Structure formats: C-alpha cells, structure tokens
Homo-oligomer: A and B are copies of this chain.
Amino acid sequence: MLNVLDVFSEAEPVWTVDALGKSLALSRSTAYRYVKELCEAGLLASVGDGGYSLGPRIIELDRQIRQSDPLLTAAGEVLAPLLPRCGEGILFICAPRGDSVLSVFLAENPNRLDISYSRGRPMPLFRGSASVIILAHLPEGRLRRLYRDHRDAVAAAGLGGDWPSFRTAMRDIRAKPYLTGRAQLDAGVFAISAPVFDVDGNILASLTLAMPEHRADSEAIQPLADLVVEGARRITATIGAQVHARSALRVEGI
C-alpha cells in the first residue's frame, strides 16, 4: 500500500484514483480502499474533482523530524558555531535513502552562495563526495547488492569496472578521513565531505562543506577539511551521547 506514495512526483503531484490504480496495476476497489486509508492517515488529501495529492501529515511529520530527530538536533548544535569559519560556504548533511542519498539538513547561513542544495532533494548515490563517502562506508553485503544492481552507474562514475576494483576504491576512500570533489548539482562548486556514524559504527550520514571552486586552492582546503572532519566527529559523538542517555532511561524502566 505504501507504493501509492511513490506515484506522486514534482512532475505529477495530483492523481485520480483510476490513474494511480492503473499505474500500480490495482483494481478500482482496491485503489479506492488504499486512497481512503491513506487519506484517513493524513498521508494523502483530496484536492477536489477526483484528484488526490500528498497530505498534511507529511508536513507534520517533517516538522517533528526538524524539531527532534537525533541526527538533525545534533547537527544543529554542532554546526552553528562552525559557520563563521566557512565564509560563503554551505554546510549540509546527507543521509542514505534507498538507492540514493538525500540532503536532510542545511546549516542556516545568510551569507551562503546560491546553489541547488535544498532539504529533501535526492542525489545520485555514485556521484558527488557527499554521496560517495556514504557509499564507501556501507556494509559489505549492501555494497555488493548495490554493485550488482547498478554496475553501469558505478562504471560511469569511474568508481570501478568490476567488483574487485569497486571494492578497492571504496576501501581506499574509507581509509581517509574525508573526500573531496566537484559538486554534482552545480557548476563551479567544490565539496569536502566526511562520514557521520551511529553508535553501532554504522554509516548514518555525511557532512559536507560546499564552496566556490575558485576558493579551493590547496592551501585553503586543509583547514576547511579539518573543520568538516571535526564537525562530523562531534555530530557522531553527540548522537552517541543521546543514545547512552536513552539506554540509561531504559535501564531505569522509564
């Protein structure tokens, strides 16, 4: 039933029940039942004339995430003091989402340069330092499945022509504290990314600083790379502290 949400896109934000039933190979009564149930949950809403769109519950849940998600609250806390050292650069957090990566947090910076990042925007998994640093730290099994399913995209991104070389490329990236590269969504933008982990040591997200390419001369990069690595490390630590706080509450039966 959750596939219903997948038919909605920026290009097609409004669907009739018949159209989405046809798209998902469902009978009319099943499609009506699913839409009714998703409307009751607030995930869809009627817009009149038999049309439905994504519903207000999504906006409400997104606000809950902004207000209280552990990763985002840690990021807000950690990144605000780092902004003054970033000039017109942008600090943002990306998280894995299925076979792609999503920007989930942007540090507020009134001086920021005007590029395409916005919260919620999906990005390819195999391009861009924000994505590839996450890819590199995925568990071996997940990496293998991604290679199997996307071997052409891996090759096109120059990450390896077969599994052994892809795997080696990923290992080499993991060996370094950060990854640099040109931003994929905008011309003339340079990015530095570092990984953020959960308390179990699994990759949770990446922290990236994006800045104009002309400012990225080799002398300027190192202090900024150190800032990104330190920021990612402190976000990881803040999340870890939250988890330990929750465990302590759990042990006490609260």
Contacts and interface: CB of A to CB of B under 8 A. Distances in A.
A186 interface: no
B67 A53 contact: no
A64 B13 contact: yes
A59 interface: yes
A216 to B, nearest CB: 28
A55 B95 CA distance: 10
A89 B2 CA distance: 39
A14 B60 CA distance: 16
B47 A204 contact: yes
Given A71-B47, A95-B45, A8 B58 contact: no
A104 B57 CA distance: 10
Interface in A195-254: 198-200, 202, 204, 239, 242-243, 246-247, 250
A61 interface: yes
9 A-B pairs closest in CB distance: A63-B120, A48-B198, A62-B62, A13-B68, A56-B97, A48-B199, A48-B200, A2-B41, A10-B68
Given A14-B70, A66-B120, 17 more contacts: A2-B38, A2-B43, A5-B61, A13-B64, A13-B65, A42-B98, A47-B198, A47-B204, A47-B239, A48-B200, A49-B246, A49-B247, A51-B246, A56-B102, A59-B62, A62-B62, A63-B121
